[in-house]
Amino acid sequence: MSNSVQYANAAGESSLQTQLERGVLTVSIGEQDASFLWDVTVIHDLFALFQKADADEAVRVLILQGRGPDFCAGLVAHDDSKDSLEERVRIKNAMELVQQLRTRTLKLLSKPIIALVRGRCSGVGIRLIEGCDIVYAQDDSQFFFSQGELGLLALIPGGADGPSCMSARARSYYSICGEYFDGNAAEQSGLVTFSSSAQEIVGAVQSLAKTLSEKDPLAVKFTKDTLAHVGSMSWDASVNFTAAKFAELKALQAVSEGSATRASAVASFLAGKSKPGLGR
């Protein structure tokens, strides 16, 4: 276990528990054996953690999961006992952070993020996993756009502001009706990548994390850049973007000790010794 960066705070009060092993940083949110409602602190802790992990070369992949039975049981959006201007400002700022996490921070993070969802995953949790690269959900997970969060998250009826990875129809339906939907429905809607059984989900996520941790980190970063940007480009712009990225990647790999995989993989493939392109 590497301790290159301290992720949980020193007083042990962080809402996050972390473990870094062989390049895989597993982040567990909340408390063990208890349903856990997120609050503003969780969001700030997550934001700070992602910034640290992005700069930490020891981290190749992140796994995000709930520490207890749920991924995200809900958000303590408003505390009547603290109904002050300062509290409302604090919550609104936290919501801004959530927006930034889902639309920008996670997509531009140089490391891939896998979310592992079990139990309940409410609106704010859905917003977070939207920004993750790959999401595994247990078949019996329960996703829902919590009514209690609607005011703050401002989901527009019709779903225009819902998760962009979901199909438009599913987004509209679930954001309006507030129904729970399980892992299989989440997979069908595009919200998650795979729905998996309770017996298989941890193994599948760990296997994928290992696969991702073995990739050239520069190639991973540039692939994420490509995924984040080319969708909104014209075809010609995507050609130019690719040419520039290829040149930059090649230059950086030439001087990076950690990026020997490219030359060796190509040479091995051309010599007929291995077939990394086919996953071997």
Partner 1 sequence: MLKIDDHIPGARIIGLDRAEKRNAIGVELTLALEQILLETRFREDIRILVFHGIGGHFSAGMDMKDFFDSSTRSPELIQKARKATEHWRCHLLRKMPQFIVTAVEGYCLGGALPILQCSDVVIASKNAQFGLPEINFGFVPGGQIVKAVELMATKRALSYMALSGRLIDANQANSWGLVTRVVDEEPMTPALELVNKYLELKSPVLTQ
Residue 219, CA atoms < 13 Å, CB-side half-sphere: 13
Task: State yes or no: residue 164 binds partner 1 (CB under 8 A).
Answer: yes
Minimum separation from the CB atom of position 125 to partner 1 (A): 16
**Among residues 81 and 234, whose Cβ is nearest to partner 1?**
234
In the complex, minimum distance from the CB of residue 195 to partner 1, in angstroms, rounded to a whole number: 11
- Contact string (CB under 8 A) for partner 1, positions 26-65, x = contact: ----------------------------------------
Minimum CB distance to partner 1, residue 160 (Å): 16
> Within 10 Å of residue 96's Cβ, how many Cβ atoms?
11
Measure the CA–CA gap between 173 and 180, rounded to whole angstroms.
11
Decide: 145 and 175 in contact? Cβ < 8 Å. yes
Look up residue 189 and give its two tokens: 């809607």
- State the SS3 of 126-139: HHHHHHCCEEEEEC
Strand partners, 280: none
20 close to 59: Cβ distance less than 8 angstroms: yes
Which listed residue (65, 193, 196, 213) binds partner 1 by CB under 8 A? 193
Q: Which is nearer to partner 1, 99 or 268 (CB)?
A: 268
Among 62, 121, 192, 205, binds partner 1 (CB under 8 A): 192
Instruction: Judge contact between 74 and 38, C-beta under 8 A.
Output: yes
Query: Are the C-beta atoms of residues 136 and 196 closer than 8 Å to each other?
Result: yes
Measured distance CA(257)–CA(221) in Å, rounded: 16
Residue 220 binds partner 1, judged by CB under 8 A: yes
- Start-to-end Cα distance in the chain: 28
Binding mask 102-121 for partner 1 (x = CB under 8 A): ----------x---------
Token representation of residue 2: 């590497």
Q: Which is nearer to partner 1, 45 or 133 (CB)?
A: 133
Interface with partner 1 (CB under 8 A), residue from 49, 94, 125, 133 = 133
Q: Is 262 in the site for partner 1 (CB under 8 A)?
A: yes
Min. distance of Cβ 263 from partner 1 in angstroms? 8
Please give the backbone phi and psi of residue 258, each rounded to the nearest 5 degrees, phi first: -85, 0
What 8-state DSSP symbol labels residue 140?
T
Residues numbered 222 to 241 that lie near partner 1 (CB under 8 A) are 222-224, 226-227, 229-231, 233, 235-236, 238-239, 241
Chain residues in the site for partner 1 (CB under 8 A): 112, 133-135, 164-165, 167, 190-193, 208, 211-212, 215-216, 218-220, 222-224, 226-227, 229-231, 233, 235-236, 238-239, 241-242, 245-246, 249-250, 253, 259, 261-263, 265-267, 269-270, 276-279
